[in-house]
Each structure stands twice: as C-alpha cells, then as structure tokens.
Amino acid sequence: MTGQSEEISKRIQDLTVRFGAEVMRSLQRHYELLQRLADGELDEAAAREMHVRFMRDETERYFRSAAVVSTSYYNALLELASIYSPPFFENASKQREPRAPSASREHGGVIELRGSVGDEAVSAFHVRNSSNDSEEVAFVVSEFCGPPGTTPFRPPLRLQPARFVLGCSESQLVSVRLPLVASLFATNQRYIATLTVQKRDAFDLPIDVIVAAPPDAPGPSTGAPSGGAG
C-alpha cells in the first residue's frame, strides 16, 4: 500500500510541475506578443481581429474537448466503482453475524395462559436487545378468537411493563395477566390471539388461553344418616 501511495504522490508532483511550466510558457508568449505590438512589429487592429476570429472558431472545439475529458473522467470512476465495490458487499454479506435468539424461540413461541373461569391466568416472557443501540419496546395485542361461531373480542389483558427502553444487551421480563371473566370465557374451551412485540426487529408471539373446569366442590352425601335410635 505504501508503494502505491508513493507512486500516486510522484504522479501528482509531475503533473504540478508540467502545469506550472505550461502556465509560464503561455505567460512568456503573451509577454512577447505584447512587446511586438508595442514595438510596432505587429498591427494592433489586425491582432485584435485575429484574436476574435480565433475565439469564435476555437471556443466550440474547446468546450467539446472539455466535455469529452469530463465524460472520460466519470467513466473511469464508474469502472473503478464496478471493480472495487462488489467485493466489499460480498464480504459484508458473508460476515453477517447470526441473529440472537428472539423471545419467541426462547419461550417455545407461545404464551400459554391456563386457569378456570373467574381466575386470573398469569404467564411471562423475556424481551432482549441484542443490538449495539438502545431501542424502545411496545406491544400490540390482537382480538381473541374462541370456538367456532364466537365473535372475536378483547379481554382485559394486562402487560407489565407495557412500554420500556432497553439498553445495549439488556433484557426485560414482561408479565402477562388475563382475568378469565365469565362473560367472555367458557369452561373447557381454547382461545387464541397474537401479541406483537414492536421493536427494531419486531416479532409475534401466539397467545394460547386454555380455560379448565374448576375443581369439583364436595357435594352433599347421598347415603342415609349415620347412627339410629337406640
């Protein structure tokens, strides 16, 4: 790399020297022309007319040549970009780091809530930030669907915390609490919904609600009363 830098530096120096020499040569010739006009060797009116004619005839060719030079310059830049850019993107795609496991995989992909009608079903899951920047986390819960024929509904599900910010490599335990109210849930039925974790790399968690039958309460005895007359 050092050899290439030295070669480029030498080329720039050579171009600078050549440019300076060309400027000095033009100034010298301009001075000689002015001197000849002052000495009367050249007719000033004829020289002025010659200059006007030269500018008229040569200006168009000058700008056309300049356009060709500019076009060639940008074509060369495009060729360089086509040579050096693809390897960078190929290497970058190959070195992509594997994504850290999300909460959906860590928890089997399902938030399971179990309980009987009248109970509060409780579960929890982790949200992790595997990026190098802090990110805000929020949640969106869909409507719940029950047995066939049941109209979708929204029960009073609570998430704690409902919104938070995770720093780099931090995690947060989120609790899920769902009152199984009798007006919405029926015994021995299953209900499903989707919890969307909104973050930089959002993902969905299915919610599976299983409403079990309450424990059997001890019923009254059906046998004859114990004991008897003496």
CA 63 to chain centre: 45
Q: Which CATH number covers residue 175?
A: 2.60.40.2310
- Residue 227 counted as domain residue: no
The answer on 86 and 107 residing in a single domain is: no
The whole-model pTM stands at 0.48
Q: What average pLDDT is seen over the chain? A: 78
Residue finishing a domain among 94, 128, 147: 94
pLDDT digits (tens, 9 = 90+) for 98-149: 343 334 334 447 999 999 999 999 999 999 998 889 999 999 999 999 999 9
The answer on 86 and 16 residing in a single domain is: yes
Domain range for 10 is 2-94
- Residue 230 counted as domain residue: no
Residue finishing a domain among 94, 126, 147: 94
- Residue 78 counted as domain residue: yes
pLDDT cut 90: percent of the chain above it: 41
Residue finishing a domain among 75, 94, 113: 94
The answer on 137 and 56 residing in a single domain is: no
